[in-house]
Structure 1
């Protein structure tokens, strides 16, 4: 992992990650700033979506800790993750200067863009609490033919079948003992642990 930028004034960090065994590197923008979200959206529209016949993005969301909520309080969207091609945005909504910028709302509600994820019904529900209504969402585990004998295929199963890879899902825990974590997993864990830590 290469740390490209850390701008304290803008409270944004940009990382370049090159997974082992893959030729392409991924650019991950982690931010609290609505302005950086807007810049990311403009860039991916210009570089990837405008010319695409099928406009498609990956969508995921992390939520507030259900153990820390007050009585009667709903679990909320805390971190929004969007990805297209080699670009990924990690927007820490819970600590953001503007929790849901209008440009982001318009982007997510654009019916011409397909937002894809796995088991995303809960993500859609939590985003509705923030007044975001995604109309063009696809749960890949439901719409892609199941290439396995499992009831619900994992994203690894779908990726391996669709793009012909042989990726293996790493399990950090097994048989009640913590397993060794590869260097790549440690890098990813650091990024996402940082993504859930408030910037100062």
Structure 2
């Protein structure tokens, strides 16, 4: 399918240690799981990043079933870590789809750095979280101002599909019903 190289998904720091601190954590993991399932159906490549797993634990087990390449980092922005940055496509024809934790720190800094490099970015609003919901609201406001597109998972998936005649339409739309 031609979608293969149009998008790349970056899953930022959805790690088990955050669970007790982020109210929407279960929904965030569930939404990210739907995104990654759709990515498999649509041949969209994805990467997982983990912030200092020694201290914060590893990616939520619900997401590790997807067999996605994982990069450990200590920098807040994935682009400030040499090996992490190398894995990210910096082709401006590839839209980066960003989800994860925390919206106002690692997600924010990664997206800001992508935008600085003239990369198109979509942030999935229902798949990012912060311990303080106000911080999430402010980071969405700032990222939109900086040039990121903010979308719900459902908007994004239908935008990728474009047409109800898409061969994966039924499978993908089932995910979001």
* TM-score tier after normalising by the smaller chain length: 0.3 to 0.5
Task: Indicate the structure whose relative CO is greater, using CA pairs within 8 Å and at least 6 residues apart.
Answer: 2
Higher Cα radius of gyration: 1
Which structure shows the bigger proportion of residues in helix conformation? 2
Question: TM-score scaled to structure 1, two decimals?
Answer: 0.32
Which structure shows the bigger proportion of residues in strand conformation? 1
